[in-house]
């Protein structure tokens, strides 16, 4: 079975631009979470979506938004990019029917560089 997939793998943007990152969960998984990981730090939680509804939001500004589609894939949008948004953005999915978070399956991430 295919794991969690993310696109694109790498992205370079300029300050002030916006970006859309995409994630496809493991087949049958209904929960998708997004994380930001800056160099040298652990991943930081941004959003969780379950059955197309937002179930949690981390401490990130309103420039960050996300949505989940009927096929359970998800998009993360970031507006008005700042240099500090440069990071690895990770998507994770978890089993159907489980809102619990203990075992999440992570994708390879999207490396975003803001110049």
φ and ψ of 84, to 5 deg? -70, -5
Q: Which two tokens stand for residue 88?
A: 């690895």
The alpha carbon of residue 92 and the mean position of all alpha carbons in its chain are separated, in whole angstroms, by 7
Q: Which stretch binds other proteins (CB under 8 A): 14-22, 41-49, 64-72, 73-81?
A: 41-49
Whole-angstrom distance, CA of residue 93 vs CA of residue 68: 12
Q: Which is nearer to other proteins, 29 or 78 (CB)?
A: 29
Residue 94 contacts other proteins per CB under 8 A: yes
- Considering only residues 53 through 82, tell me which ones interact with other proteins, judged by CB under 8 A: 55-56, 58
Q: Which two tokens stand for residue 92?
A: 């994770």
SS3 of residue 72 by DSSP: coil
Residue 88 contacts other proteins per CB under 8 A: yes
Q: What is the largest CA-CA distance in the chain?
A: 41
- Considering only residues 3 through 32, tell me which ones interact with other proteins, judged by CB under 8 A: 4, 31
Residue 93 contacts other proteins per CB under 8 A: no
Which residues contact other proteins by CB under 8 A? 4, 31, 33, 35, 40-45, 48, 50, 55-56, 58, 88, 90-92, 94, 99-109, 111
């Amino acid at each position: 079975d295919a794991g969690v997939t993310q696109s694109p793998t790498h992205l370079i943007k300029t300050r002030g631009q916006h970006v859309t990152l995409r994630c496809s969960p493991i087949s049958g998984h209904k929960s998708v979470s997004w994380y930001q990981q800056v160099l040298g730090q652990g991943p930081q939680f941004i959003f969780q979506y379950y059955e197309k509804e937002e179930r949690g939001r981390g401490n990130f500004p309103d420039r960050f938004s996300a949505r989940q589609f009927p096929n359970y894939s998800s998009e993360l949008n970031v507006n008005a990019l700042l240099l500090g948004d440069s990071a690895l953005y990770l998507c994770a999915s978890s089993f159907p029917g489980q809102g619990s978070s203990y075992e999440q399956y992570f994708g390879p991430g999207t490396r975003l560089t803001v110049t």
